[in-house]
Structure formats: structure tokens, C-alpha cells
Structure 1
């Protein structure tokens, strides 16, 4: 018994792995700046392999976890009106927080002027991918082959199929009850897998951080320090202050308890830079530690990981003003409003597209007549900022889940307010 008490918590082990990785990466960069051995066998070898195995192990569970949990949650909502209300509230809140995020970012960038006075080379090029049109997004919601949607991890299609499957189960009587029992068993197995994989998190986080900081150019960070610090500040203010205000005002729940219980989620998001890879941990935390009933959390969390991009919206707001200032282009009030509207709608329209943040930024720049090649100016520090904005995104997913659950009477407040409930990663 005493030995178990002496074991470090998951949060502590992840923090140790993260700090150790950062220190090792920085030491390798300064001690062996041009070493082909470090680059080939450590950065692109050992660290890369371990880090990618860690991310792949989390992503491996995303589709089955979303499918099983969403089917279970939906089949419990036998009232179609309640399902429609749940969807409307969730999408509406995600769009609201995204609009607030980019408006806040634009305001801060205009006030602090991160690009004024910088003499940066503007001959860097960037070729963004092509974002789908609104019509393509709407059509693409419906899977022509559900198995292909599962194989390609097309989350919007997986979500729609799961919801329809769950609704059908709710209306077929005894057959649906029998299938539901099977899905409940599957859900227990998948959640156990999530807890098992959390044990390798400290090693995966160490490898990801060691690789990143052994390759990051600190000269670039110093050159773009004002831009970097402004984006980071806005991300932290939005993730801590804005979400806390929204949570308290819309649900009445304690923001400090909320943030405290999200520590593991933040660490996973920060290290993986992927909302989808973090989704198993987010869903487990939202349902087990924050008291959101599964029929709500299984809908809001996967949808949020797909369309909620508050952190990305903040980057776009600051980056748009930054690029305009570097190129000495004045933006009007209409331009700023266009940026807010375009980025908010694009957060849904480009969901599921690889490199979504830069694709969305390219769309925004084009809408207000700014050179898309300006994206090349910020690519050097974007990887570090991406880690923080992913943590902001998953915080938004959890906040909306709690607010929607409270409004629907699907929040266990005793669980939410219990500080002793933790993510268990070891067998008792």
C-alpha cells in the first residue's frame, strides 16, 4: 500500500518527461549544432520513432472510441428533439467561442503592433493546400461508404454515421437493447486501452520534446519575439480567462476546478499538437472527472475536436495583422470584420483537412487582399505555438461539453466538484 502511494501521478510523470525532453533537446542543439549523428540517429531516428509511435497509439483509438461512445450516447437520447437541441447548442457555442477568439486576437494585434518596424525577408514562399467549398463540405458530411470513412478517419462522416446508427438502435426495440449491451462492453474495453496507453505517455512526450527542441531555431524565435509572445499571451488569456468567464456565466460551475481537472488533457494536447490524438484523454476526462454524461460528452468532444479551432483562430487573427504590418498594408474596419467572419466559418468549412491552420490562414489572407506568401514569415515559430493552441482547443471542447451538459440536466455536479477523482492509469 505504501509503495503505491509513493508512485508519481500521471501528471507528474508527464511533466518530468516534458522537461527532460526540452533540456535534452536544447543541450543537443547547443553542444552538437551541426552533428549529422544527432540529426540522423537521434532527432530523425530514436526520438522521431518513439514520438510517432506514441501519437499513433492515441490516434489508433480515436475512430473506435468516437463510434462506440457516440452510438451509446445517441441511442440513449430517444427524443429526436433533444438530439437536435443538443446539436444546435454545441455547434452554436463552438462558433461563438471561435468568433470571440479571433476578434480578441485582432484587437490585441492592432493595439500591440507585432509587425511594425520589422525588416524581415519577404521572399519566402508558401503554397497552401486547397480548402473545400461549403457545398463540398455539406456533401462530404454523408459517407458513401462508412467503412471508408472509418479507414480514412474522416471524423465528420464518422460522427454522422454514428449518430444515425444510434438513433436507429433507439427505435428498433429489443434488437437495439441487445446491441447496446454489446456496445457497452466494447466501450469498457476501449476505455481500458486508453488507460493502458497513458502509461507510455511520459516516454512519448520526452521524445517529442527532445526532437522539437533539438531542431528549433532560437534565432527565428528572437527575430519574431513580439509576434510569438503576443500569440502566446492571447492564447493563454483566452484559454484561462475567457473560457472561465463563459463557464461561470453559462453554467455556474467553478472554473478553478475545471482547469485543475484538465491538467492531463493540457499536457497531452501540448505534446501531441493534435486535438484528434488527444481526444481519447479529453473524452475520458470530460465524462469521468467533470461529470458530463456520456450521451452528451460522446457528441460534444468528437465534434469539438473536428470543428472547434479557437487556438487556430487566434493565430490567424494575430498573423493576419502581423503580415499586413510587415508588408505596410493598411486594413480597414471592413477588412477586420471580414477576417473575423471568414475565420469563424472556415473553422467548420476546412474541418478534417491536413494542415488546416495554414489553409484557413491562406483563405483569410486572400479575402482581405494580403499576400499568401507572407505565411512563410511565421512558419519558423508556428510549431511551438501549435502546441499551445491545441491545448486551448481541447479546453474549449471540455468547456462547451460542461455548459451543454448542465443546460440539458446531464451533468453530475458531485463528480465535477470532487477533487479526488483522478484518471487511473494503474490497476489497483
Structure 2
């Protein structure tokens, strides 16, 4: 096998390892935050591993394009800030189903896509930034509350930025898991480390649809799907929009009863399979997507073990690692939110409402943040006559 033939395979493995290790803690934490038991959260992690891998295989093999799918990390962060809604975990699962249906409709109904496009990017980014703030504060509070556990994690993150920024988060999470194993010892539940799916019958409530489904849909579209198309275009690849929305939307609906929150077109990791790292031959880079999909399926086999380690985490060490993993996303979101001078004040209002964590009429802060931003934007716009 020539060097060129091997490069896409390696790029795909790196894509899956970096993409997974950078955010699986956030996924597990988000699912638990909206009411999942440890077993249901482990099932949800397994579900998104499998659905995104199968979706990638379908798209890459069908179109011979390095299309990369991922779970919605911003969506998982949103769940962390939302908390349990009326109806509990079954209602959250119902909201995941609604999110998937909305994604499918976006590909089929042009007007729905146009409606999402009319939401200012600055507001979507401000909402996401506000949601991320409490999570990204975890390393700060963790250093104060549990320095013995959190300090090694923070130190690793800093040192790795001097060595390799790409591997900073994966190595930091690996160190965090080592700290968990050493500190928790026999308290780690090793009873059933084999991956298994747990069915939850969806239940629909207005509060869950408004608090979870709508913000999850908006943040997934604005922070993942739309940027994902732009990343692919920057490398000269076109995304089959309708089919991709159908694949990710259906994948979300199928995975929802097993706890999967949302899958989408990758944005950040898309560059790893579509760019030069996947080899000089652009026509062969699709192999990287196939390789990434296969690696995700392998990682799915250890999803229960990962969930068990996170559940046994002492001293907020894993939460601190998750906060460090999302610092880059927070920085990008803040930059995107404040880039537009004309709507800056509205974006700040949206950010503050999202960061407040308020609940009004049983509906969480993310929804009210969007409402506040959309209502105030025309009032505080500098270009208003």
C-alpha cells in the first residue's frame, strides 16, 4: 500500500479519536442533566456513536466525498444548562425526536431553511456562548474546591498546548480518566461494561419541546450544519444538502428512544477528513470518512466503560476537563456573537439571558435568550432610523 493510500485511513482514525475524546464527557453530562440514568446516558452515547458512523458510511460511499458527521456537542452543552424539564427523561427523548423531524423538514421544506437562515448568526452564537459559560467555569471552581484532582488536569491542558494543540483536549481527558481510576478505585462499577441500548418510550410536553427541541435544533443548525457546509466548500467539496439533512435527521429520530440527542454535519473535524491531512489526492479523501466511521464503531464498544468512569468521577475532575474541552468553542462563539457591531447589544442581551440559567413558565434560559435577542435587536440596532 502506498503512502498516499494510507494517509486517508490514518486521517480518519485521528478524526474519530479527536472528535470523540474532545466531547464524549459533555454528551454524557448533558444526558444526565436532563434526567437520564447512568445506564440511559451510556445508551445515548452508544446510539450517537452508531448513528453518526452509519450515516457517514452511507454518505461517503454513495457520494465518494469526505463528508463527516458528528454528535451535536453544542447541543449536549445546551442540555447541561437546561436541566430536567416537565415530563423528565421521557419528555427529553420526545424533544430529541422533534429535533430530528425538524432537521429532516429543513432539507425538504425550503421555507423552513430560510426561516432558520433569518436568525442572525450573532444571536445563535451568543446563546451558545451563554450556555457554555457555566460549563467553562468548572475548571476555575474545581481548582478551588478539589485542587488535588483538578490541578493535574489543568496542568496537562496547559503543557499540551505547548506540544500539540490538536491533542491537548484528548490527552487532558485521558489524564482526567486516569485520575478517576486512581481516586475512585473499586467504586467504579465494572458489573456490565459491555455496550447495551436502553429503550425509552418518547413522551411529548410543551415545556420539553420549547426548552430542548427548539434550542437544540437552532444551535445544531447554526453551529454545526451551516458551518459544516462552509468548511466543506472551502476545500472544494459540495454537500448534498437535502440528503445530508435527511440522513442526520432520521439518524437523530432513530437514536432518540435509545438516548441519542442529535447528530449533524461536522464542522471542526470536517477539516481533518476534507483537508490536506487526508492526503494530496482529493478524489481519495472520502476514504478518511469511511475510516472515521469504522473507528467510531470501534469506540462504541467502549461506550459503557467510558460512562462508568465518568459516573465514578470524584471532585468534579471530569466536569473540569469538559470545561477545558469547550473553551475553544466558547471563544469562537463569543467572537461570532460580537463580530456584528450593529447587533452587538442584542447579542450581549441574548448571552446574558442564556448564561443566567433562568426558568420561566417551565421553559429554560436558552429559549428565552433567543426571544430576548430577537425582540431587542430591532430596538437597539445602530442602523435603526
TM range (shorter): under 0.3
Q: Give the TM-score, by structure 2 length.
A: 0.28
Flag the structure with larger Rg.
1
Q: Which has the higher contact order (CA 8 A, sep 6+)?
A: 2
Q: Give the TM-score, by structure 1 length.
A: 0.26
